[in-house]
């Protein structure tokens, strides 16, 4: 029986869903963040449960060939990444294995073909949005990321390697403004202080936006902040204030005030122009989002005259590309602001063969059937997956193809299992590395009505551009 603080020798034999090392000690599973398969290591037990335990690496006695030197001085204290100790190729392999394990073990999709994870040529500086908590004092502010499994702020004076250089420059400008003007950082425990979060956004054009979330309605030395921000980021388009006086983990408040510049950024995705406001959802990795979108459109295989439904459509980032090939596409989204953004995006891009419905998917699908059954249904639900009622409604509509876009392999597999009971089979899945150096993986899965998965089906569907495997 293991005991807390006990030092033990372990051999790692696999990686878990969070890219943690999976070891065994006298028959008991021990999860060790930072350990890699094949490594022998000394570890200290930090937590013991009835059937498993957690341990911390003290010393790697025999390192894996897949081990790498982390390029970030904050790693692993910062909770933003959990794979910088691995070679990038190893992270791609681990993510594919996670998707495969979930689909076969949870989803029962034994015949599914899971492709190699679609990686990036340069897996750094890919985030076009960053949100950085603030703590410390006005004389010595801490602006960075929360430590793993806590709300302690790890200061990142050099910026973050996943963010753009513009983002780092804006963080530095805010840091100087705080020190110069004695701006008190927020204290979460006392619900006191002013500056809670620094958020940055950057468009493909290089235009950027700085948003401050504050525990109040105004800030001191506003003109000094704007001057510093404009000097730090020549492409700066906006400086925005978001009052948030609630005791909450939500970053932005219910409204935003424009301090300087334009109220939104002009962004592009898959050739479509979109307006991004401070509170708009937009994929943080533009390059991989375009790749994922192309895969989803390829899997949908729409032909002129066919009808499609885009469920959980957000602001229409998938709806508009789908409409290029389809006769008509209907998007459903429960968030009213997102529906308005989707309609505006369609108007500004001249896309007329789409319409958008506001409401819960499980409630609106039945009404859509009055206009005719869809040939293809695309599902892009939140991390918790789709509700069973929504899946049953989709199956009742009897589309020939279902394309499921997922950010959680476990809930994807659960929903695939539900759809399989209604006559659909998962035949192909393409993992996409949307968030390099984290455990997260996006997956596009293709389900066909009444067809068992097979390697032949996989081979018959060529990869987009023939370049979708990892670097």
Digit-coded pLDDT (tens) for 200-214 = 999 999 999 999 999
Burial class (CB in 10 A: 0-12, 13-18, 19+), 146: middle
Question: What is the mean predicted confidence (pLDDT) over 175-192?
Answer: 97
Tell me the pLDDT band of 337, cut-offs 50, 70 and 90.
confident
Is the Cα torsion angle 440, 66, 128, 252 positive or negative in sign?
positive
Contact 415, 390 (CB under 8 A): no
Tell me the pLDDT band of 281, cut-offs 50, 70 and 90.
confident
Positions annotated as catalytic residues are: 407
Looking at the predicted structure, is the pLDDT value of residue 38 above 70? yes
Question: What is the mean predicted confidence (pLDDT) over 345-359?
Answer: 96
Contact 45, 4 (CB under 8 A): yes
Q: Where are the alpha helices (DSSP H) in 79-140?
A: 88-101
Averaged confidence pLDDT in the chain: 93
Burial class (CB in 10 A: 0-12, 13-18, 19+), 149: exposed
Is the Cα torsion angle 292, 295, 299, 304 positive or negative in sign?
positive
Contact 244, 252 (CB under 8 A): yes
Predicted local confidence at residue 451, as pLDDT: 67
Tens-digit pLDDT profile for residues 185-237: 999 999 999 999 999 999 999 999 999 999 999 999 999 999 999 999 999 99
Predicted local confidence at residue 452, as pLDDT: 56
Predicted local confidence at residue 458, as pLDDT: 55
Q: Where are the alpha helices (DSSP H) in 301-446?
A: 319-323, 336-348, 361-368, 388-397, 409-420
């Amino acid at each position: 029986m293991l005991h807390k603080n006990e030092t033990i020798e372990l051999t790692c034999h696999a990686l878990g869903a969070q890219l943690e090392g999976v070891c065994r000690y006298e028959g008991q599973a021990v999860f060790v963040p930072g350990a890699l398969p094949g490594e022998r290591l000394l570890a200290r037990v930090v937590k013991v449960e009835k059937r498993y335990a957690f341990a911390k690496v003290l010393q790697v006695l025999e390192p894996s060939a897949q081990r790498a030197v982390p390029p970030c001085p904050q790693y692993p204290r910062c909770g933003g990444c959990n794979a910088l100790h691995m070679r990038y190729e190893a992270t791609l392999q681990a993510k594919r294995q996670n998707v495969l394990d979930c689909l076969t073990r949870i989803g029962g999709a034994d015949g599914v073909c899971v492709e190699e994870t679609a990686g990036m040529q340069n897996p750094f500086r890919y985030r076009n949005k960053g949100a950085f908590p603030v703590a410390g004092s006005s004389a010595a502010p801490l602006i960075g990321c929360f430590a793993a499994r806590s709300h302690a702020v790890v200061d990142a004076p050099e910026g973050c390697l996943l963010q753009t250089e513009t983002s780092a420059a804006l963080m530095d400008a805010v840091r100087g403004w705080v020190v110069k003007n004695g701006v008190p950082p927020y204290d979460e425990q006392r619900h006191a202080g002013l500056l809670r979060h620094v958020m940055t956004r950057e468009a493909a054009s290089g235009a950027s936006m700085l948003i401050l979330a504050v525990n109040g309605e105004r800030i001191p030395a506003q003109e000094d902040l704007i001057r510093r921000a404009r000097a730090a980021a020549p492409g700066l388009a906006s400086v925005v204030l978001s009052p948030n006086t609630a005791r909450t983990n939500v970053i932005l408040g219910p409204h935003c005030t424009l301090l300087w510049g334009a109220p939104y950024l002009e962004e592009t995705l898959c050739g479509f122009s979109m307006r991004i406001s401070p509170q708009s959802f937009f994929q943080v990795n533009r390059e991989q989002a375009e790749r994922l979108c192309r895969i989803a459109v390829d899997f949908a295989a729409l032909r002129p005259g066919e009808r499609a439904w885009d469920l959980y459509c957000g602001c229409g980032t998938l709806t508009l590309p789908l409409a290029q090939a389809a006769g008509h596409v209907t998007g459903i989204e429960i968030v009213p602001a997102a529906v308005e953004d989707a309609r505006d995006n369609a108007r500004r891009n001249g896309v007329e063969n789409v319409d958008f419905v506001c409401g819960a998917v499980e409630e609106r699908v039945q009404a859509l059937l009055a206009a005719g059954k869809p040939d293809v249904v695309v599902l892009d639900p939140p991390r918790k997956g789709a509700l069973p009622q929504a899946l049953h409604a989709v199956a009742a509509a009897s589309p020939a193809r279902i394309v499921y876009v997922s950010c959680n392999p476990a809930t994807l597999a659960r929903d695939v299992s539900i759809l399989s009971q209604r006559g659909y089979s998962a035949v192909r899945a393409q993992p996409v590395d949307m968030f390099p150096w984290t455990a997260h993986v996006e997956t596009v899965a293709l389900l066909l009505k009444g067809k068992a998965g097979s390697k032949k089906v996989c081979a018959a569907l060529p990869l987009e551009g023939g370049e979708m495997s990892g670097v």
